[in-house]
Amino acid sequence: MRETITLNTQEQKRMMVLNRLLVGQLTAVEAAVLLDLSERQVRRLLAAYQKEGAAALVHGNRGRKPVQAISEEMRRQVIELASMTYVGCNYQHLRDLLAEREGIELSRASVRRIRLPAGMSTPRTQRRRQHRRRRVRYAQEGMLVQIDGSRHAWLGDRGPWLCLIAAIDDATGKLAATVFREQEDASLLLSVGAAAALAARAASGSLS
């Protein structure tokens, strides 16, 4: 009775490349690049393939349990500790605690592979939202005047674009001054701000 050999995707790719190498469609260098192997490894693999056929392409460890496989007993122990004693720990912290307190040496990746199938993903820490405190307004009118410019087609089709410069008193929110100009510049802002501040202080009675 002939043995049936099943090849995975990687092994099938190797067989196709080796077949092309055998019929001269590829060189050993090209085959090495396609298989991500050295030329020596390709020639060794080709010799084994010619001798044993597809069986030479099947990895010797297929179906075997890894030597370093984690036992079911240890898996249950880790899950129990993670869900009770060390509940709330992330993968790295749990890994450290298992090594320090329980004598269980596992990698962070192994801890993750044990926890995920058990529905125990790492907890996400929620950052506290930082509430921005609004700046307290000045107590008296005229102490601070804020100036801003807005360029827009204020006249529509009847004229050019203009910049509306407005001065607003910080304490009261009143519109202290406005002016239209073609361009916004520093000297204009300073003059508008000064005039608005004087007007606001006069309105508040702080000028004698």
At 141-174, the pLDDT tens digits run 767 777 777 778 878 888 888 887 777 777 787 8
In a domain, 123, yes or no: no
In a domain, 154, yes or no: yes
| Whether residue 32 is found in the same domain as residue 81 | no
| Whether residue 53 is found in the same domain as residue 89 | no
Helices and strands in the chain, H and E counts: 7, 3
Q: CB neighbours of 138 closer than 8 A, spacing ≥ 6?
A: 144, 170, 171
| Whether residue 53 is found in the same domain as residue 88 | no
Q: What is the pLDDT of residues 34-64, one digit of tens each?
A: 888 888 888 888 888 888 887 777 754 454 5
Among the listed residues 40, 39, 34, the one whose alpha carbon sits nearest the alpha carbon of residue 14: 34
Identify the H or E element spanning 169. strand 162-169
In a domain, 138, yes or no: no
This prediction has a pTM of 0.32
Q: What is the span of the domain harbouring residue 186?
A: 145-203
- pLDDT at residue 191, rounded to an integer: 66
Domains contained in the chain, number: 3
| Whether residue 151 is found in the same domain as residue 175 | yes
Q: Locate tokens 């307004």: which residue?
A: 137
112-124 burial, b at 16+ Cβ within 10 Å, e below that, comes to: bebbeeeebebee
Q: How far apart are the first and last CA of the chain?
A: 117
| Whether residue 155 is found in the same domain as residue 105 | no
- pLDDT at residue 207, rounded to an integer: 53
